[in-house]
Amino acid sequence: SAVISQKPSRDICQRGTSLTIQCQVDSQVTMMFWYRQQPGQSLTLIATANQGSEATYESGFVIDKFPISRPNLTFSTLTVSNMSPEDSSIYLCSGDPGGNEQFFGPGTRLTVL
Amino acid sequence: EDQVTQSPEALRLQEGESSSLNCSYTVSGLRGLFWYRQDPGKGPEFLFTLYSAGEEKEKERLKATLTKKESFLHITAPKPEDSATYLCAVQGVKTSYDKVIFGPGTSLSVIP
């Protein structure tokens, strides 16, 4: 298993600004994932981050809006750029320690005014 | 295209009233099916992985089973602390980068 922490846990931001979310894993993981979860909805995958290569984005998500860094096997960041109220959501990161199961962080609750 | 549906959308049980949640999936070759529990304001908590039809996994009052087209999460004599949203997810053999597809979830409420 893996224990994952995220910072910040929540934030309120003004439109047009950017927020960087940090994700830290207590062990090395090959794959890390970033999800968005709207209130009352299931998880939507934003992108997959593999250490040493560019992130792979899902349809509807682009690097200019959601740049991701993966500098090592225990850390990743997701930036939500040029925010609008439609970006208000919970952002979750997860890690796959190698057994196919993903373990999730507690999430970052973002509100954009 | 890989797809996951879950039913019912919401389920309300009396404490001690056993029931089952359903997860139906369409995938071109199943690599794994996963069950998660999510409490409000928290990230999903991993429960089980099932790999092949006929497989069963148990944890306390929960038992997960798998057929070729669906999985069931059986809850025996539930308690109020079992109240949560239960998410099912699948990973296909043709899936790139180990990603999984999540279902919409079943919101379970257990009333004392």
pLDDT single digits (tens) A6-64: 999 999 999 999 999 999 999 999 889 999 999 888 899 999 998 888 899 999 999 99
Three-state DSSP state, A58? coil
Quick one: closest CA in B to A47, which residue?
B99
> Which residues on chain B are in Cβ contact (under 8 Å) with A1?
46
pLDDT digits (tens, 9 = 90+) for B34-77: 999 999 989 999 999 999 999 999 999 999 999 999 999 999 99
β-bridge mates for residue A7, sequence order: A22
- Provide the number of CB pairs (under 8 Å) joining chain A to chain B: 52
What is residue B47's predicted lDDT score, i.e. its pLDDT?
Answer: 96
Domains and CATH numbers, chain B: 3-111 (2.60.40.10)
Percent of chain A with pLDDT over 70: 100
pLDDT digits (tens, 9 = 90+) for B1-34: 889 999 999 999 999 999 999 999 998 889 999 9
**Strands annotated E in chain A:** 4-7, 10-13, 19-25, 31-37, 43-50, 56-57, 68-72, 75-80, 89-96, 103-104, 108-112
pLDDT digits (tens, 9 = 90+) for A71-81: 999 999 999 99
Quick one: closest CA in B to A33, which residue?
B99
Domains and CATH numbers, chain A: 4-112 (2.60.40.10)
